[in-house]
Amino acid sequence: MPKTTNWREQMQSVVGAKGYTSDDDDMAPWLTDWRGRYTGAASAMISPASTQETAEILRIANEHAVAVVPQGGNSGMVGGATPDASGQSVILSLRRMNRIRTIESEDQLVVCEAGVILQNLHEALAAEGLRFPLTLGGKGSATVGGLVSTNAGGTQV
Ligand SMILES: Cc1cc2nc3c(=O)[nH]c(=O)nc-3n(C[C@H](O)[C@H](O)[C@H](O)COP(=O)(O)OP(=O)(O)OC[C@H]3O[C@@H](n4cnc5c(N)ncnc54)[C@H](O)[C@@H]3O)c2cc1C
């Protein structure tokens, strides 16, 4: 467990350099929603690469009362993935959690991480002769976590 009392350092030590940025240019594309209606500010963007890292980041955020805004592909239409203007919150980007863990063709079962992009899921399943029917115009950006979170429908639901 990190020994520092500084939440930034603690989070950095969990996700490493690849998973942490507070650089304005790095964060800029993720501070405005897809339609350009909402723009916020964030004190950092944290990108965990595993469930364990995500859990640890949330533990630290909870301990230090840091507000967290989960974000997948940022293709939502209602600003839910955009932090508010205070600059106090962190974006929790799930995009590095993009592994499809198992495809069980016979049972038609797939287990994947929250950051898997819908189109990638379609392609991986098509390669196994399967079809994942949920689809929508944002499939090249929308992630499984975002789809579940928003109960996204699309054209075939
Ligand atoms: C061209 C286009 C067409 C679209 N068509 C449709 C459509 O037909 N039907 C439809 O329903 N939507 C549609 N959408 C909207 C959007 O694609 C869906 O809402 C999609 O589910 C958002 O996924 P995302 O990964 O981009 O989520 P984001 O936009 O990143 O986040 C959306 C919400 O989910 C939360 N969230 C994201 N990931 C997680 C996670 N891992 N854990 C917890 N919370 C999370 C965010 O905090 C936010 O509140 C469309 C979008 C585009 C751009």
Which of ligand 1's atoms lies nearest the C-alpha of 97? 41
pLDDT in tens, 46-89: 999 999 999 999 999 999 999 999 999 999 999 999 999 999 99
Confirm or reject: Cβ of 72 under 6 Å from ligand 1. yes
CA 143 to ligand 1 center in whole angstroms: 7
Instruction: Read off the pLDDT band of 24 (50, 70, 90).
Output: very high
Domain ranges of the chain: 7-93, 100-150
Is-contact 44 11, C-beta < 8 A? yes
What's the confidence (pLDDT) of residue 22?
A: 97
Q: What's the mean pLDDT in 28-50?
A: 98
Burial group, residue 85, by CB count within 10 angstroms (0-12, 13-18, 19+): exposed
pLDDT in tens, 126-146: 999 999 999 999 999 999 999
Looking at 3.30.43.10, 3.40.50.2300, 3.40.50.11540, 3.30.460.80, the CATH number of the domain 7-93 comes to 3.30.43.10
- In degrees and rounded to multiples of 5, residue 133 shows phi and psi of -75, -25
Confirm or reject: Cβ of 40 under 6 Å from ligand 1. no
Give the pTM.
0.96
Confirm or reject: Cβ of 115 under 6 Å from ligand 1. no
Confirm or reject: Cβ of 74 under 6 Å from ligand 1. yes
Q: How many whole angstroms separate alpha carbon 34 and alpha carbon 95? A: 16
pLDDT, averaged across the chain = 96
- In degrees and rounded to multiples of 5, residue 90 shows phi and psi of -115, 145
Q: How many whole angstroms separate alpha carbon 15 and alpha carbon 89? A: 17
What's the confidence (pLDDT) of residue 4?
A: 67
CA 3 to ligand 1 center in whole angstroms: 36
What's the confidence (pLDDT) of residue 5?
A: 75
